[in-house]
Amino acid sequence: MTLPIRIGTRGSPLALIQANMVRAALMAAHGLTEDAFEIVPVVTSGDRIQDRALAELGGKALWTKELDRALMAGEIDCAVHSMKDVETIRPVEIAIAAMLPRADVRDRLIGAESIEALPAFARIGTSSPRRTAQVQALRPDLRVVLFRGNVATRLAKLEAGEADATLLAAAGLGRLGHHDVGVAVPVDVMLPAPAQGAVGIECRAEDAAMRDRLAAIDDIATSVAVKVERALLAALGADCRSPVAALAMCDGDAVQLSATLYAIDGSAQVSGRIDKGADVGERLAADLLARAPASVRALFAG
């Protein structure tokens, strides 16, 4: 392995913090110092386009495409991602080689004590199809307004009165130092997005030395859980426009997976849970599709 190890990342404040966390983990695992690494920010199309819903524009590829290209071109040795933003189907040349220990998986509500406590017809700022459907399922009266941009931008929009409340992942808020902004929404009220709270590191599949280095920092419980959640998404034919929530938990050798699929407006949903055996993601997907109301099933290619 040649040094420095070039760590590719998006350039947002949260992405840079996550890249620093990966560097710290690699330093500790391999007895390296900071000068053994170079952090390489890569501007992605998703960072440049801020005014339309991500879902309209080609989805998660907006965040990964440029990093994928830099990785395959040998300009970086690994790439750090919020696993929530990584497409289900990855190029064969790229391996998801490690995940850091998962943070708090919950969303936090900022602007009210609970979704129930919001005044009638309050405006909630989000651009997430999952959060939209969940909020409308709980409170059909609430009005959803489009909120995009990084965490700081969304908090500023809320501050400016563009909405009465917003929902953000506890993981991102916490990594940015906003541990006590808003209140955590329990997972039995709002199940999180698949892979929420997990930071993953990819490298070239053929780069055996990098894969070994990354294997040393892999949190196995996180990797297993996120891979099961991603298997569910793949089996559903879901993409970033699909209103789907899922959470897997690892307990020794057992994995328990819960998931809910929604109609776009939250007017219908189907939930399920599987906690035994192999292929829990694929099996729960089949079970949910079989039981889904028509307005939900229509959204999933299966």
Task: Kindly list the residues in this chain that would bind ligand PBG in the complex (CB under 6 A).
Answer: 82, 84-85, 151, 168-169, 171-172, 196-198
Is 68 an active-site residue? no
Q: How many CB atoms lie within 10 A of CB 222?
A: 23
Pick the closer one to ligand PBG by CB: 134 or 292.
134
Query: Could you say which DSSP state residue 296 is in?
Result: H
Tokens linked to 129: 């199809």
Pick the closer one to ligand PBG by CB: 27 or 53.
53
Pick the closer one to ligand PBG by CB: 143 or 178.
178
Closest CB 151 distance from ligand PBG, rounded Å: 6
Pick the closer one to ligand PBG by CB: 48 or 276.
48
Task: Match 């495409």 to its residue by tokens.
Answer: 65
Closest CB 300 distance from ligand PBG, rounded Å: 20
Closest CB 194 distance from ligand PBG, rounded Å: 10
Query: Could you say which DSSP state residue 261 is in?
Result: E
Closest among 94, 100, 129 to 225, alpha carbons compared: 100
Closest CB 85 distance from ligand PBG, rounded Å: 5
Tokens linked to 301: 């290619």
Strand order in the sheet with 165-169: 143-145, 123-125, 165-169, 107-110, 183-184
Q: How many CB atoms lie within 10 A of CB 251?
A: 9
Query: What is the spatial distance between Cα 266 and Cα 132, in angstroms, rounded to a whole number?
Result: 7
Query: What is the spatial distance between Cα 205 and Cα 207, in angstroms, rounded to a whole number?
Result: 6
3-state DSSP assignment of residue 147 = coil
Closest CB 176 distance from ligand PBG, rounded Å: 9
Give me the helix-helix angle, 13-30 and 151-159, nearest 10°: 140
Closest among 259, 251, 252 to 283, alpha carbons compared: 259
Pick the closer one to ligand PBG by CB: 63 or 207.
63
Pick the closer one to ligand PBG by CB: 25 or 270.
25
- Which is catalytic among the residues 68, 77, 85, 218? 85
Residue with the shortest CB distance to ligand PBG: 172
Closest CB 260 distance from ligand PBG, rounded Å: 17
H-run or E-run covering 215: helix 208-215
**Torsion, CA 207, CA 66, CA 200, CA 190, rounded to 10:** -160
CB distance 15 to 47 below 8 Å? no
Residues annotated as catalytic are: 85
